[in-house]
């Protein structure tokens, strides 16, 4: 599966003493430190390039930042907010990473989608469910299906 993450590299550069100080894109002040960060084609104080969610200094956490909707985020927060778990096996829509999911074998489901696909019965914790042809079935429907397969005359 191809990942479409919006990640950008962060470079740490040492400031040459004889060059004109660059403006920081975070606080708009001049960067007079020995080191500065370059990211998103802008220059930053090490302290100013921070995750909008957890305030961690992105230059330290790794050499990548993530952006979305004008927010600058660390990888953890980006995935938490905007990542995806996968496609729901029932409705085939994407499931955002922060949503609760149900799992059955390799499949993931929205909580709302996790129901018997024949009679729509929901499952509670501990309830038995069955996977057949990648469909979730309740015990009744599963057993009924077995019966039909076993006893129905082969139609040709």
Q: Which residue's CB is nearer to Zn ion, number 100 or number 152?
A: 100
Which positions from 76 to 115 touch Zn ion by CB under 5 A, shown as an x/- string? -x----------x-xx------------------x--x--
Separation CA 126–CA 41 (nearest Å):
53
Told to check if 26 binds Zn ion by CB under 5 A, we report yes
CA atoms within 13 A on the CB side of 97: 10
Q: Is 74 in the site for Zn ion (CB under 5 A)?
A: yes
Report the nearest approach of Zn ion to the CB of residue 156 (Å). Answer: 28
Q: How far apart are CA 44 and CA 126, in angstroms?
A: 52
Among 10, 24, 102, 108, contact with Zn ion (rule: CB under 5 A): 24
Query: Does position 45 bind Zn ion by CB under 5 A?
Result: yes
* Strand runs labelled E in the chain: 7-14, 35-39, 42-44, 64-68, 71-73, 84-87, 94-96, 101-104, 107-110, 129-132, 135-138
Q: Per rule CB under 5 A, is residue 25 in the interface with Zn ion? A: no
Rounded to whole angstroms, how far apart are CA atoms 76 and 81?
9
User: What is the closest distance, in whole angstroms, from the C-beta atom of residue 43 to Zn ion in the complex?
Assistant: 9
Among 79, 118, 131, 135, binds Zn ion (CB under 5 A): 118
Q: Which of 39, 49, 66, 141 binds Zn ion (CB under 5 A)?
A: 141
């Amino acid at each position: 599966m191809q990942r479409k993450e919006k990640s950008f590299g962060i470079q740490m550069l040492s400031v040459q003493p004889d060059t004109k100080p660059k403006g920081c894109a975070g606080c708009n002040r001049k960067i007079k430190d020995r080191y500065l960060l370059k990211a998103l084609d802008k220059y930053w104080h090490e302290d100013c390039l921070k995750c909008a969610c957890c305030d961690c200094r992105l230059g330290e956490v790794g050499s990548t930042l993530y952006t979305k909707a004008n927010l600058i985020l660390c990888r953890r927060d980006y995935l938490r907010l905007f990542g995806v778990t996968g496609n729901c096996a029932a409705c085939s829509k994407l499931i955002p990473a922060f949503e609760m999911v149900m799992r059955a074998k390799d499949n993931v489901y929205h909580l709302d989608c996790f129901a018997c696909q024949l009679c729509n019965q929901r499952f509670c914790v501990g309830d038995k469910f069955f996977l057949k042809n990648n469909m979730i079935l309740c015990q009744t429907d599963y057993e009924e299906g077995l019966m039909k397969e076993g006893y129905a005359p082969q139609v040709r």
